[in-house]
Amino acid sequence: MGDSILVINAGSSSIKFKLYGIAGDELAPVFAGQFDGIGSRPRLRVKDKAGRALADQAYPAAEVGSAAAAQTVVADWLKEHLGDARIVAVGHRVVHGGLTYAQPVRVDAAVLATLESFIPLAPLHQLSNLDPIRVLMERRPDLPQVACFDTAFHRGHPERSDRFALPRALYDEGVRRYGFHGLSYEYVSAALHRMAPDLADGRVVICHLGSGASACALRGGRSIETTMGFTALDGLPMGTRSGTLDPGVILHLIEQKGMSAHEVGTMLYRDSGLLGLSGISNDVRELLASTDPRAEMAIDMFCHRVAQAVASLSVSIGGLDALVFTAGIGENAPEIRSRVVAALGWAGLAFDPAANARSATQIDDPRSRAAIYIVPTDEERMIGLHTLRLLQQEGALGAPEPEGHRA
């Protein structure tokens, strides 16, 4: 098969990985795997590009208790199953690039140290993102590794979109709205450009709705404003994260309830969102299937907040030409989409119930004032393409294509 790129998308309890063969300026999928349940019910599953199972192995929880341990298992499996593939680089999703990185970067010891300094800005994600990089640095110090950042797509916002109403000195130090899910937004924007270039170059709001949820306003394919801010806690309520919160609540919890900063952080990241609202589950599928009124309230609030975000973001781009749903909930939950669009009926948005029910690519009613699309995201492919382009720019492979709408 020849030269290949491995992509690793590591989280706190799972690692996704994909192998792509390099075919000129494009990537050809070879296989995709996921190691989930890290620390609880570890399980490695791998499928080839046709969907046939290559591995399905469970492990004792004590044996795989961290992302680093899971990455070691994944590395061992890859070593045995690569065949004639030669990995020339590994691309990683790294949530936070801070003020330092606005483009993908090859990781060395100095870069890794800088990325470690951003862990307090994304404690749920950054540490897990970096664990596989460390493992591979030890096992294959010669192998190029490329960090691709969720924050990078949002760099270049107007200052009014990046600022908090805080003293200027804090903004200059880096206390600002960074935004996240950028790799997903970049991929979806490029995919929409292939489907409907006129729409994609106009005023678009993309709703990335999954366990982590956010929305982004784009104009001309560029991020103008997004709901997540300094951390990935801000904005929409999520599976277990609170979303936007009156900062006075934090002061109350610390000063009046006697909670430590660590306890507050744990609650906001792990015990809030849909889980905290319902007291039942953070899984939208379970909540939609439940007859418990708490589940209905959680779903109702989630959809209400998403619709509010779409309306608010439309102000930032002067209107709305297209609304796009993506990620696990956005792509697979017709009920959520229907409620969000119904809440935006005052703005002239309307969906086709039959198209929505079958999760068609385009689900708007012909009378709708804005087009409504479902566009599956593929962060791993975006990471792979960024890694390929960086190698080409460094002269390690063939010359890169000009930058543009490629994904």
Q: What CATH number has the domain bearing residue 123?
A: 3.30.420.40
Tell me if 171 is assigned to some domain. no
User: If we measure between CA atoms, which residue out of 100, 186, 93, 189 comes closest to residue 147?
Assistant: 93
> What pTM did the predictor assign?
0.91
pLDDT in tens, 341-358: 999 999 999 999 999 999
For residues 334 and 212, state if they share a domain. yes
Provide the pLDDT for residue 12: 67
For residues 100 and 129, state if they share a domain. yes
For residues 354 and 336, state if they share a domain. yes
Tell me if 172 is assigned to some domain. no
Q: What is the mean pLDDT of residues 82-105?
A: 90
- List strands edge to edge, sheet with 85-94: 53-58, 43-48, 26-36, 14-23, 2-10, 85-94, 145-149, 105-106
For residues 298 and 332, state if they share a domain. yes
Mean pLDDT score across all residues of the chain: 92
User: If we measure between CA atoms, which residue out of 377, 378, 398, 381 comes closest to residue 389?
Assistant: 398
Note the maximum CA span of the chain: 62
For residues 361 and 221, state if they share a domain. yes
Tell me if 56 is assigned to some domain. yes
Instruction: Report whether pLDDT(371) > 90.
Output: yes
For residue 94, what are the β-bridge partners? Answer: 149
The percentage of the chain sitting over the pLDDT mark of 70, rounded to a whole number, equals 97
Q: Domain containing 353: what range? A: 196-374
- Residue from 131, 142, 150, 234 carrying the catalytic annotation: 150
Tell me if 299 is assigned to some domain. yes
For residues 369 and 383, state if they share a domain. no
For residues 309 and 386, state if they share a domain. no
For residues 233 and 346, state if they share a domain. yes
For residues 101 and 227, state if they share a domain. no
Q: What is the mean pLDDT of residues 251-262?
A: 96
Which amino acid would we find at residue 82?
L
Number of domains in the chain: 2
Distance in angstroms between the alpha carbons of the first and the last residue of the chain: 22
For residues 88 and 105, state if they share a domain. yes
Task: Give the separation between CA 222 and CA 10, rounded to whole angstroms.
Answer: 26
Tell me if 315 is assigned to some domain. yes
Q: What is the DSSP string of 339-404?
A: HHHHHTGGGT--B-HHHHHTT-SB-B-TT-SSEEEE----HHHHHHHHHHHHHHHTTSSSPPPPSS
Tell me if 180 is assigned to some domain. no
Nearest-5° Cα angle at 206, 148 to 355: 125
For residues 115 and 238, state if they share a domain. no
Instruction: Report whether pLDDT(19) > 60.
Output: yes
**Pick from 190-194, 222-226, 396-400: least confident:** 396-400
For residues 126 and 224, state if they share a domain. no
Active site residue 150: yes
Nearest-5° Cα angle at 206, 130 to 279: 70
Instruction: Report whether pLDDT(402) > 70.
Output: no
